[in-house]
C-alpha cells in the first residue's frame, strides 16, 4: 500500500493525497510555486501582498463570505508565503472536503483585487513591517538573512519594505498573479478523512480552462564571503538579541539530514548542548535555539538568543566553544542516537495531525516534485554517522561563513569575536 497517492491532471496540476483512516478532519491545501526569491527588487513583497489580497473577495464571495464558508462549518482557513512557495490551507471535517477545495480554488481563480482593498491591505502590510522591526528577536533573524545572502532575493524581507510595498500597483498585482498562479505551477495536497477519487475529480473540474505560463525563474546564489560579517543595530531594549547565521546545504543535498541532526544536538530542545550550557549551567538566557532552512541552491543554520548586554561576550565565547568542540571532537554515540530518536519522534507525533501531513506532502511536491515516505526519511537519518556530524560541522562552522546580527543597546566601539 502506497503511503501517498500522486495524480497529474490534464492541465498539468498535480494532486498529492493521503487517506488517514480513523481521522475526523481533512486538511486541504493549494501550493503555488512562487515566493520571495522570484520577485523583482522594485516589487519585492508582492507574493505576500497577493496572498493577503486573495482573502479580500472573489467574483463569487466577499471577504466575510470566504471566512463564513469555512468557519461556518467549524473549520479553519489560513495561508503563508515563503521564499519559494505560497500555500493556502483549510482544515475541516472530512464531509466538507469539497467545500474546502472549492473555496480555495475560488480565491485563486477569481480574486477581485478591489482598489480600495489593495490600499487598505497596503497599510496593513506596512504595519506588519513595523511590527517586525519593533520585535528585536524577529528583526535580528531578518538582518542575519540579509548578511548571509547579500544582494540576493533570499536576503530580503519576505514581506517587503515600505518603499517596495508603496511601489506595487494594481496592474503589478494583476500581472503577477496571472503569470504565476497557473496549473503547472500548483499542487493540491490533502490528508485525513478524504475521498481521494473525488479530490482528483474536483481538482480537475475546478482547474479547467486555467491557462499555463512559464515557470518563474530565480537567480542562483553564489557566495563571495571571505571573512565574518557583523551588523550591530542600536535599539533601546533590556536585552541584546543575537543571531548567528551560517550558510548550509540545499534542500536536496544528501547531507540535509546530517545538518538537521546537528541542529537538534546543538539547540532544538532542552537537552541540547546550547540549552544546557547557556541556560542551565550559566543562566545567561531564558532560551537559546538553533534551526535550519533549506532552499533550492542554499540553506541556513541559525543560532539565536537574547542576553543582558554585560553577558554578551561570555555568551559569544560559550557558543563558539560548543561549535569548536563539535568540529574537533564531534559527538558521542549516545548523543547522536538521542537526536535521531528525537527527530523520529517529532515526525511520528507530527504526522498524527492531518495538517502536518498535508503540509509535508505539499511542500515536498512543490519544491522537489516528489514526496519521500516516512520510512525513506528515517532510513537516511539512521545512516548518519558520528563522522558525518564532525564533517558537516567542520564545513559550515567557519569564520568565512559566519554572519552575526545584533539588535539592542549597542555600545560605541562594540566588537564581537567568535573564535571558530
The CATH number given to whatever domain includes residue 40 is 3.30.830.10
In a domain, 51, yes or no: yes
For 51-66, what is the mean pLDDT?
98
Taking residues 232-237, report their average pLDDT: 92
Domain identity same for 120 and 12: yes
Point out the catalytic residue in the list 51, 84, 322, 363: 51
Predicted confidence (pLDDT) at residue 214 exceeds the cutoff of 80: yes
In angstroms, the CA 261 to CA 391 distance is 13
Judge if 249 and 124 occupy the same domain. Answer: no
Q: Helix or strand or coil: residue 118?
A: helix
Q: What is the mean pLDDT of residues 37-60?
A: 97
222 within domain boundaries: no
Distance CA(405)–CA(150), nearest Å, equals 13
Does residue 284 share a domain with residue 172? no
Q: Are residues 391 and 286 in the same domain?
A: yes
Give this prediction's pTM: 0.96
Query: Same domain for 242 and 163?
Result: no
Same domain, 181 and 290: no
- Answer whether residue 219 is part of any domain: no
> Is residue 293 over pLDDT 70?
yes
Domain count, the chain: 2
pLDDT value at residue 1: 42
Is there a single domain that holds both residue 190 and residue 112?
yes
Is there a domain that residue 419 lies in? no
CA–CA distance, 104 with 55 (Å, rounded to integer): 10
Q: Which domain holds residue 96?
A: 5-206
Is residue 413 assigned to a domain? no
- Do 287 and 397 sit in the same domain of this protein? yes
**Domain assignment of residue 215, yes or no:** no
Q: For the segment 64-81, what is each residue's pLDDT rounded down to a tens digit?
A: 999 999 999 999 999 999
In a domain, 250, yes or no: yes
Residues 331-361 have pLDDT tens digits of: 999 999 999 999 999 999 999 999 999 999 9
289 and 186 share one domain: no
Specify if 192 maps to a domain. Answer: yes
Distance CA 179, CA 181 (A): 6
Query: How far apart, in whole angstroms, are the C-alpha atoms of residue 78 and residue 89?
Result: 5
Q: Please say if 238 is a catalytic residue.
A: no
Angle at 289 between CA 287 and CA 290, to 5 degrees: 170
Same domain for 271 and 378, yes or no, is yes
Residues 20, 145 within the same domain: yes
Amino acid at each position: 500500500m502506497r503511503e501517498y497517492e500522486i495524480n497529474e491532471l490534464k492541465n498539468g496540476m498535480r494532486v498529492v493525497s493521503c487517506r488517514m483512516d480513523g481521522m475526523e478532519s481533512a486538511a486541504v491545501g493549494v501550493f503555488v510555486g512562487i515566493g520571495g526569491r522570484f520577485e523583482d527588487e522594485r516589487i519585492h513583497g508582492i507574493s505576500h501582498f497577493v496572498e493577503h489580497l486573495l482573502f479580500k473577495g472573489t467574483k463569487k464571495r466577499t471577504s466575510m463570505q470566504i471566512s463564513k464558508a469555512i468557519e461556518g462549518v467549524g473549520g479553519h482557513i489560513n495561508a503563508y508565503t515563503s521564499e519559494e512557495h505560497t500555500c493556502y490551507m483549510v482544515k475541516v471535517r472530512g464531509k466538507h472536503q469539497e467545500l474546502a477545495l472549492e473555496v480555495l480554488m475560488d480565491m485563486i481563480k477569481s480574486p477581485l483585487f478591489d482598489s480600495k482593498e489593495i490600499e487598505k491591505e497596503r497599510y496593513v502590510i506596512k504595519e506588519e513591517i513595523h511590527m517586525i522591526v519593533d520585535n528585536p528577536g524577529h528583526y535580528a533573524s531578518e538582518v542575519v538573512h540579509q548578511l548571509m545572502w547579500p544582494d540576493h532575493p533570499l536576503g530580503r524581507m519576505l514581506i517587503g519594505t515600505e518603499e517596495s510595498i508603496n511601489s506595487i500597483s494594481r496592474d503589478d498585482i494583476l500581472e503577477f498573479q496571472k503569470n504565476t498562479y497557473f496549473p503547472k505551477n500548483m499542487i493540491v495536497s490533502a490528508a485525513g478523512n478524504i475521498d481521494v477519487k473525488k479530490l482528483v475529480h474536483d481538482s480537475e473540474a475546478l482547474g479547467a480552462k486555467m491557462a499555463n505560463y512559464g515557470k518563474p525563474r530565480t537567480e542562483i546564489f553564489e557566495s563571495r564571503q571571505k571573512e565574518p560579517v557583523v551588523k550591530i543595530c542600536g535599539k533601546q531594549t533590556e536585552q541584546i538579541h543575537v543571531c548567528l547565521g551560517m550558510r548550509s546545504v540545499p534542500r536536496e543535498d544528501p547531507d540535509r539530514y546530517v545538518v538537521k541532526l546537528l541542529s537538534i544536538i546543538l539547540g532544538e530542545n532542552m537537552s541540547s548542548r546550547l540549552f544546557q550550557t547557556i541556560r542551565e549551567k550559566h543562566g545567561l538566557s531564558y532560551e537559546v535555539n538553533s534551526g535550519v532552512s533549506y532552499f533550492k541552491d542554499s540553506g541556513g543554520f541559525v543560532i539565536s538568543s537574547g542576553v543582558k548586554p554585560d553577558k554578551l561576550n561570555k555568551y559569544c565565547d560559550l557558543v563558539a566553544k560548543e561549535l569548536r568542540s563539535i568540529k574537533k571532537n564531534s559527538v558521542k554515540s549516545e548523543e547522536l542516537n538521542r537526536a535521531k530518536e528525537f527527530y523520529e519522534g517529532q515526525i511520528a507525533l507530527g504526522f498524527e495531525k492531518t495538517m502536518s501531513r498535508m503540509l509535508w506532502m505539499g511542500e515536498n511536491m512543490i519544491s522537489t516534485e516528489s514526496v519521500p515516505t516516512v520510512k525513506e526519511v528515517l532510513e537516511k537519518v539512521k545512516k548518519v554517522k558520528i563522522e558525518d556530524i564532525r564533517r558537516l560541522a567542520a564545513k559550515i562552522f567557519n569564520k568565512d561563513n559566519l554572519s552575526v546580527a545584533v539588535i539592542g543597546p549597542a555600545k560605541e566601539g562594540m566588537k564581537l569575536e567568535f573564535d571558530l
